[in-house]
Chain A
Amino acid sequence: MQSVPHADETRGKSILHRIWYSIFRSPPLPVSELDRAQSVANNFFLHIHSAKVHERALRFKTTLGLGLMTFFTFIILVVTGILLMFYYVPTPEKAYDRMLDLRSAVFFGTFLRNMHRWSAHAMVLLALLHMMRVFLTGSHKSPREFNWVLGVFLLLLTLFMSFTGYLLPWDQLAYWAIVVGTAIAGYAPVVGDQVRFILLGDSQVGSEALLRFYVLHVAVLPTVLTLLIGWHFWRIRKDGGLARPREDLALAPAPAGTGSDNAPEDAPPEKEER
């Protein structure tokens, strides 16, 4: 595959042309299928996506756009979250005052906090709905088992993300929700109290808990979540794109790793093992 343009192609062209090609290696508005495929395959951010997708995968009914929307809320949360970090101080003395500052002293501060809050709720809800979509369409089945498992961990991380963020405003709602939530962790046998202590850095919700939740919320969990999202997306491509009916698969060449088991699905409905 020729991914680097021939030196003759850029020689003698304008400086803008040469700069564009030095970065993207494909024309800005590609017309041929080859250029269009390469503009995805040659792009650092897009190459995680397959250059071609089955037309069925793009129909709204197939996915309802739920997985993408979950990802988009994450993007919105990262951007608004970083902006909020500029104004926030994770100490019991300062945290609540900073919330008031967001209302009164920060340009668009209320909107920023609202976006972060509602997007966080939306992300939890959309992740749950995405999980339901995947199961009810049977998309978790072989060969996509492991991507489902990654999805389960992504859901747990999303819940933990939301939970750690819930404490940060340091108001009554935040404080007592975390008291109740972390009490649940304490009900685990043998290790319950230790787990709770590690989480809070203390036997009660206080300044140590606020600092730990803050670090988890802005550094540890987003990093892990970003890595797992990348893995989750990469697996879609490696598993042969989105799940589609066997009737369609029978016509197409087998995706890598599934062998040649493309029998059309015309067997009578059989009982589940569960």
Chain B
Amino acid sequence: MSQIEAPDYERLPVKPDKTYGLMCVVPTRSEAVNVQTEKQVLAWPDGLIRYVLLFLVLFMVLAVISLLFNAPLEEPANALHPPNPAKAPWYFLGLQEMVSYSAFWGGVGIPTMLVLLAIAAPYLESKPGGEGVWFHSSRSAANWIFLGIMGTLGLLTLIGTLFRGRNWDFVLPW
């Protein structure tokens, strides 16, 4: 909320023995409170119209994708005929790739540590500064650690998705 400044009592002394009445209301569109310093705009319409436009764009993109590409549907499930390789959904293929090196560390140990690290991140990075700015120079170390972790996970996901064939052997997708 905006802070309303205290009235200038010296210039306009309020006398307790007098009564005051509202003389007129000036017909403007806004009340001039902190207009210069706050740079605030109204959620309706400035924000909400943008949100609706963003929704329409997103909806249209997804609708076009849905018209062009059909969701996959393979043969009915058969517990007796495992495909080779059997792959998890794409967002777990990084995990599956790590599992192929070590079942416990890849599937449980490292993922658990990553989640705990993610939860702890804002408390570990307690020094103020750089909020709301892309790649702020005072946060370059934290950003590089974060990008390193995300990049590694992305790379493992990519390998699991494209470069793993029969018996989880390394294959080229082309």
The residues of A with any CB-CB pair to B shorter than 8 Å are 30-34, 36-37, 39-40, 46, 49-58, 61-62, 65, 68-69, 72-73, 75-76, 92, 96, 99, 103, 110-111, 113-119, 121-122, 124, 132, 135-142, 144-145, 148-149, 152, 156, 159, 162-163, 166, 169-177, 179-181, 184-185, 187-189, 192, 204-206, 242-246, 248, 251-253, 261, 265, 267, 269-274
Contacts and interface: CB of A to CB of B under 8 A. Distances in A.
Interface SS majority for chain A: helix
B88 A177 contact: yes
Given A51-B43, A136-B143, A148-B121, A180 B62 contact: no
B50 A274 contact: no
B10 interface: no
Interface of B: 2-3, 29-31, 34, 37-48, 50-51, 54-55, 58-59, 62-63, 65-67, 69-79, 81-83, 86-92, 95-96, 99, 103-104, 107-108, 115, 118-119, 121-143, 145-147, 150
Contact of A137 (B78, B123, B132, B145): B132
Nearest to A184: B107
A85 to B, nearest CB: 16
A137 B134 contact: yes
A272 B142 contact: yes
B75 A172 contact: yes
B59 to A, nearest CB: 7
B91 A159 contact: yes
A170 B133 contact: no
Contacts of B99: 184, 187
A33 to B, nearest CB: 4
A20 to B, nearest CB: 16
Given A156-B115, A188-B108, A242-B132, A114 B71 contact: yes
Contact of A136 (B89, B115, B129, B135): B135
A55 B29 contact: no
Interface SS majority for chain B: helix
A49 B42 CA distance: 11
B133 A138 contact: yes
Contact of A192 (B78, B89, B108, B134): B108
B55 A54 contact: no
Contact of B133 (A30, A37, A245, A272): A245
A114 B38 CA distance: 45
A244 to B, nearest CB: 4
Contacts of A117: 71
A205 B86 CA distance: 14
Contacts of B142: 135, 272, 274
- Residue of B39, B115, B150 contacting most chain A CB atoms (<10 Å): B39
Given A180-B86, A184-B108, A189-B104, A152 B130 contact: no
Contact of A171 (B77, B91, B108, B135): B77
28 contacts: A32-B29, A36-B42, A37-B42, A40-B43, A53-B43, A57-B47, A96-B76, A111-B63, A114-B71, A117-B71, A132-B150, A135-B121, A139-B132, A140-B125, A148-B121, A162-B89, A169-B73, A176-B82, A177-B86, A179-B86, A181-B89, A184-B107, A184-B108, A246-B131, A253-B3, A253-B34, A265-B128, A270-B127
Given A54-B40, A76-B59, A172 B132 contact: no
B83 A176 contact: yes
Nearest to B40: A52
Contacts of B139: 138, 272
Given A181-B92, A243-B131, A243-B132, A142 B54 contact: no
Nearest to A124: B91
Nearest to B102: A187
Given A33-B31, A172-B75, A187 B89 contact: no
Contacts of B90: 121
Given A53-B40, A53-B43, A180-B87, A273 B77 contact: no
A72 B58 contact: yes
A274 B71 contact: no
A64 to B, nearest CB: 10
